[in-house]
Amino acid sequence: MIKVGVIGASGYLGAELLRLLSRHPQMEVSMLQAHSNTNITVGELYPGLDAFYKGLTIADFDPNSVGNLDLLFVSLPAGHSADVMDILVAKVPLVVDLGADFRLKDIALYEKWYHFEHKNPLLLSKSVYGLPEFYRSQIKNAALISSPGCYVTAASLAVKPFVDAKIIDEKDCVVVDGASGTSGAGRKATDVTHHSLVNENFTAYGLLDHRHTPEMEQVIGRQIIFTPHLLPMTRGILVTCYVKTNRKVTTGDLLSLQRDYYDNEPFVDVIDGIPSTKDCYGSNMARITSRYDERTGYMVMLAAIDNLTKGGAGQALQSANIALGIEESMGLTQIGMIP
């Protein structure tokens, strides 16, 4: 069995990892650490996980105590993993970081967008970006994988095929409107995510300065203007992206291009209809589509994912499977929960 540890196990991404790992036939969780909600069992914090992880305790975070593991998932707030990653990669053969500290290849962007000074340029240059649909060959045999942001995953899957096909001019800016459930903000409640404020409400946030913007630009290869919104639901992301094409196409052309691009991808479903977050709920599937508007010359690209699964823990596990040379879909599902 592959011995697995999770740092940040008390958060929502940590809990989602535990849910997925419970069904993985080749992985066994043997170590859990966190910054908060520690020295209690998994079942005390998340009763729904108790039956599988009965008696397993979440310990205080201590990078020096990590050992005897084959795989380590790290889910810490921005700015926390960069300082300890040297210790972790020296002790564990494969580390998958679900945080932001190794996503951006331009180290100067961390101070601008995340407001901390990144002090580990060598490890940053060695990390591999964990979006399998675009970087599968690099993920194989990687030692440090940086798993993408949730909005970035959805927007990149929707837009990048058309950038690669040169339908979008290099000078053109892509407009990305995104909407997310409250779990994307993490377990700790804030003035913004309190139920009484989110319920029966729909609001934008992070205007012009959301941290996922430079990551989108890095992956997609075009300038992005991104506006995220908060929805009164727990899980899910829907992005709607707009950009003018540099030649006349049809909706059929766009859908055919997407289908060819994602041919044989286990977790991307190109559909004729309209993607819905509910259809992806609890699954690692991304559902995408596109349209061409003859009246304006713009195309519209949409993608729906579960932010905790394909946008988080599921994608991290997918990348780990690839790096370890085992079946990519192991422990994951294409089927959303119904209803």
Q: Mean pLDDT in each 10-residue stretch from start to end of the chain (339 residues)?
A: 97 97 98 95 96 96 94 95 96 98 97 94 96 98 96 98 96 97 78 80 94 98 97 96 97 98 98 97 98 97 98 98 98 94
Selected catalytic residue, list 150, 173, 241, 280: 150
- CATH number of the domain that residue 159 is part of: 3.30.360.10
Q: Annotated catalytic, 280? A: no
Backbone φ and ψ of 179, nearest 5°: -135, 135
How many angstroms separate the CA atoms of 169 and 171, rounded? 5
**What total of structural domains would you count in the chain?**
2
CATH assignment at residue 7: 3.40.50.720
Buried b (16+ CB within 10 A) or exposed e, 149-160: bbbbbbbbbbbb
CA distances from residue 58 to 32, 93, 319 in whole angstroms, order as listed: 5, 22, 24
Give pLDDT, residue 196. 79
Q: 17 in helix, strand or coil? A: helix
Q: Indicate whether 131 belongs to any domain.
A: no
The domain in which residue 225 lies consists of: 150-307
User: What pLDDT, on a 0 to 100 scale, did the predictor assign at position 323?
Assistant: 98
Q: Are residues 205 and 108 in the same domain?
A: no
Instruction: Check whether residue 105 and residue 238 sit in a common domain.
Output: no
- What angle do the packed helices 132-139 and 150-164 form, to 10 degrees? 90
pLDDT of residue 197: 81
